[in-house]
Structure 1
Amino acid sequence: MPQHFPMFIDGRDAEAADGASFESTDPYTGEVWATFPRGRAADAELAVAAARRAFESGPWSRLTPSARAKLLFKLADLIERDADRLAELEVRDNGKLIAEMRAQVGYIPEYFRYFGGLADKIEGAVLPIDKADTFNYTLHEPLGVCVAITAWNSPLLLAANKLAPGLAAANTFVLKPSEFTSASAVALARLAHEAGFPPGVLNVVTGYGGEVGAPLVSHPDVAKIGFTGSELGGQKINESAARDFKHVTLELGGKSANIVFDDANLDNALKGAVSGIFAATGQTCVAGSRLLVQDGIYDEFVERLVAFAKQARIGDPKLRTTQVGPVTTTAQYEKILDYIRIAKDEGAICRLGGARATGEGLGQGQFVQPTIFAEVRNDMRIAREEVFGPVLSCIRFKDEDDAVAIANDSPYGLAAGVWTGNIRRAIDMPKRLRVGIVWVNMYRAVSFMSPFGGTKRSGMGRENGADAIREYMQTKSVWVSTARETPDPFVIR
């Protein structure tokens, strides 16, 4: 019997106003394991109204920053307490490895502790203004009701990226998780309630983007949208939000270049190449899906990479020994297979995989073989469009300038990797790559302390680090006259 997860609005469980629901399928077993309310505009209205009350007149608006911090610390403790259960929910929902999701959930409490620590350190400034008899200072204030919309690949981590800084800054939230991965969001809202967050501060509505996500984005009482997802989804949200001049943070897709120079430690670079594309089944926005390898080592490196990746263990994501799990959604599964066909038609040479993965231990899951294409040109679709799966394009480059030209020749600009033993290159290359994140002699590391976000079609704004809390605040300038007499009122002061 599938578990049912109600929405969470104004501190209470809630069903859809019209009673509708939808199902979630386990990507490994292919079985329906959970049901959720199918929210629509009426449910969005209730959630926003609850968040607005909590922001404007509820106890949340009267809490001191240190009191908000204590609630964030308490929530962190509860997430830590329930980390095993939360990770299991995520694996059932999205099919990612239990080892990956347990590590993510185990790290999430640090996001709430970090931003809880910043809550009482949001300081304005006294400005040495150039006007006589005038005192001027600034305040940093919350935006109001915020909507967080998250993708299905790392549901809780993506929610924490938005909620932790936004709540620390005294905003209230409506969280709309992906319809494919809603269970952990509901569980998180209940933990926030247990921690003592006032009703309406964190609300969760479940359902489809067009039915409940769009009404949330266009709602006149919403001040800010934080979105992680597809480029197309980001475009629609940005266009809708612009009509009301809403604040927007968009964390979208990527086609990241993982660059291996001939002076790199090749053993480490091999691991970095595998981590960049086959970890998380390639279902990550920072996937190093373009592997740029210098001419002199290209053939040897690709040969070693194929041998290494061939050993990857595909199977049940709930087993700690599994290294590559199923693709989360049927639509994404078919999309990945389509791109494999496209790459073959374009003339790329398939050195590994290139098909569905079937066999013992794979259940009814949607598995794609780890796939490596060699002799890829940067003008091929497989090198330009985001696949979001375990498919790697290997591209040759001549020298540093050639590597930079190829890496930057992309509509995306999220991340890049550089593998080199040359200290000058290690420092210089990040300056030349037009992306938001550069890893040198490592790949796919994140921290609540370090800004995360991209350029070009990879989005706008930053999550994580001190930059993130500023994304959820606005600056107010306050002028106080100390003059004994007001001067000429017809002349600007």
Structure 2
Amino acid sequence: MTTLSPIKTFLNYINGSWQAGSSDETLASINPANREVVGYVQSSTREDLNEAVEAAKQAQKEWRKLSGTERGNLLFKAADILEKNLDEVAESMTREMGKTLTEAKGETARGVAILRYYAGEGMRKMGDLIPASDGTALQFSKRVPLGVVGAITPWNFPVAIPIWKVAPALIYGNAVVLKPATEAAVTAAKVIECFNQAGFPKGVINLITGKGSVIGQGLAEHQDVAVITFTGSNSVGKQIGQTAAARGAKYQLEMGGKNPIIIANDADLDQAVAAVLSGGLKSTGQKCTCSSRVIVQSGVYEEFKEKLIAAVKTIKVGNGLDADTWMGPCASEDQYNTVKYYIQKGIEEGSQILIGGDSPESEELKQGFYVNPTVFDNVTTNMIIAQEEIFGPVLALMKVESIEEAIEVANDVEFGLSASIFTKDISKMLTFIDDIDAGLVRVNYETAGVELQAPFGGMKASSSHSREQGEAAKEFFTTTKTVFIKG
């Protein structure tokens, strides 16, 4: 693999080779910890995109004819290569978007596991035998690929999310054009190099970098792209979905969240505090499943608040490459400004900051996009910080009297991605499971994080109602063909 260099320019990967875009323009990937340039990527044009899509279209004709075992063997090889280069890929991730090296290594290892999971899918059934009304006939269904998949991925999980889209698309016989976020495009290039080294046929997987308005929108509009899978903001996702739907393409959107974690009067408060810290502040709160609203019953509100603030005070903010750093910077200057905007809104709306709200005073951190972990008190459901996704290290404490009120408050947002409750009461657990509007429901566990073998997606404005990962990916990346053979 190529060695990361602050001055290296990374190319597009099209039809089995690394090549420059048709434009002389490049885009810089900036280290949010110190503003150094991590690398440059191509600012590609529609011409470059057309080349990538055409390469994928032609390659898919032969790729779909391979057996699942043959395709799976290549995914196994890619997994082995990624595992071998785990440290380098993880360091690239930390330098590009700021999460701690420990988290980056964990995410890269998860990428390896996802590749191996879907490699194994090549040996599993792709249809069903169906009884025919004619006793001399054979009737069955088979899952078949859709064609070219356009994958548009965000910066917050630059290894796991691209792989959980690319791996199932490939194992089920599709070809892929991947458009990663610029803030994480260097890491994406290193991941795609693993596929290159694994020996995937030319054109089966392609990487193209550039502006979302050009490449992302171009994928959504392209007549030869049969499928769009997108993870990102609600505003962009809606535009992508509308564009894809207008031409009859299949699409999948995983968008925002405003995820609640309910703390009941009978909860284990130490366990709950640990879950709020991990689910709400790890990765600097930059997870679509992060816990941003902490809804606490009045009977334990003050005690929980005291324990939470004490725990937040122990958090070490710093460069993600430093071994003792618990929380890194916001991923970019834009994200930093967004978080600061919402903190100011919380103050203006009358909520009290219990801790944080500012940036570290250390000289070595002043060049980075750091925000100290922030906890607001006395937040009400009508406040902006209780309704809109912040995507930063900001927690909103909300007091309620009953579990019924807690669930009502939890559901009082446009999103429905993940939700959690901490309680020892089975009745409360079951009520929560039935009544909460969320695609991922957890009991006595944090809201953040997903199991790679389980379906993932949200309700309401959080998704387009399809599901990713696990066996659910087969439903999205294939269609059913019914076959009737007369004897």
TM range (shorter): over 0.9
Q: Does 1:151 align with 2:154?
A: yes
Q: Does 1:184 align with 2:187?
A: yes
State the 4+ residue runs in structure 1 displaced beyond 6 angstroms: none
- Which runs of structure 2 are paired with 1:51-62 in the superposition (5 Å)? 51-56=56-61, 58=62, 60-62=63-65
Residue of structure 2 equivalent to 1:446? 450
Q: Does 1:311 align with 2:319?
A: no
Please give the alpha-carbon distance, in whole angstroms, between the structure 2 residues aligned to 1:399 and 1:30.
47
Alignment equivalent of 2:479, drawn from 474, 483, 490? 474
Q: Does 1:259 align with 2:262?
A: yes
Contact 1:314 1:362 in 2 (8 A): no
Residue correspondences, number: 480
Residue of structure 2 equivalent to 1:88? 91
Please give the alpha-carbon distance, in whole angstroms, between the structure 1 residues aligned to 2:180 and 2:345.
31
Please give the alpha-carbon distance, in whole angstroms, between the structure 2 residues aligned to 1:24 and 1:124.
44
- Which runs of structure 2 are paired with 1:295-310 in the superposition (5 Å)? 295-310=298-313
Please give the alpha-carbon distance, in whole angstroms, between the structure 2 residues aligned to 1:102 and 1:125.
39
The offset of 1:244, in angstroms, is 1.5
SS at match of 1:222: coil
Residue of structure 1 equivalent to 2:462? 458
TM-score with structure 2 setting the length = 0.96
- Greater Rg, structure 1 or structure 2? 1
Q: Does 1:272 align with 2:275?
A: yes
Q: Does 1:338 align with 2:341?
A: yes
SS at match of 1:340: helix
The offset of 1:335, in angstroms, is 0.9
TM-score with structure 1 setting the length = 0.95
Please give the alpha-carbon distance, in whole angstroms, between the structure 2 residues aligned to 1:91 and 1:338.
25
Please give the alpha-carbon distance, in whole angstroms, between the structure 1 residues aligned to 2:384 and 2:133.
57
The offset of 1:119, in angstroms, is 1.6
Question: Taking every aligned residue pair, what percent have the same amino acid on both sides?
Answer: 35
Residue of structure 2 equivalent to 1:489? none
Q: Which amino acid aligns with 2:35?
A: G
Please give the alpha-carbon distance, in whole angstroms, between the structure 2 residues aligned to 1:80 and 1:215.
33
Alignment equivalent of 1:222, drawn from 217, 221, 225? 225
Contact 1:8 1:203 in 2 (8 A): yes
Please give the alpha-carbon distance, in whole angstroms, between the structure 1 residues aligned to 2:455 and 2:430.
19
The offset of 1:134, in angstroms, is 4.4
Residue of structure 2 equivalent to 1:16? 21
Contact 2:289 2:449 in 1 (8 A): no
Structure 1 alignment gaps of length 5 or more: 483-493
Alignment equivalent of 1:2, drawn from 7, 11, 26? 7
The offset of 1:111, in angstroms, is 0.5
The offset of 1:131, in angstroms, is 5.3
The offset of 1:132, in angstroms, is 6.4
SS at match of 2:267: coil
Residue of structure 1 equivalent to 2:49? 44
The offset of 1:133, in angstroms, is 5.4
Please give the alpha-carbon distance, in whole angstroms, between the structure 1 residues aligned to 2:140 and 2:34.
59
The offset of 1:469, in angstroms, is 2.1
- Which runs of structure 2 are paired with 1:305-384 in the superposition (5 Å)? 305-384=308-387
Please give the alpha-carbon distance, in whole angstroms, between the structure 2 residues aligned to 1:431 and 1:84.
42
Please give the alpha-carbon distance, in whole angstroms, between the structure 2 residues aligned to 1:143 and 1:263.
50
Q: Which amino acid aligns with 1:362?
A: L
- Residue by residue over 1:271-314, the C-alpha shift from the partner in whole angstroms, topping out at 9 and shown as x without a partner, is 01111211110111011100000011111211221121011101
SS at match of 1:197: coil
Residue of structure 1 equivalent to 2:202? 199
SS at match of 1:289: strand
The offset of 1:320, in angstroms, is 2.0
Please give the alpha-carbon distance, in whole angstroms, between the structure 2 residues aligned to 1:181 and 1:338.
24
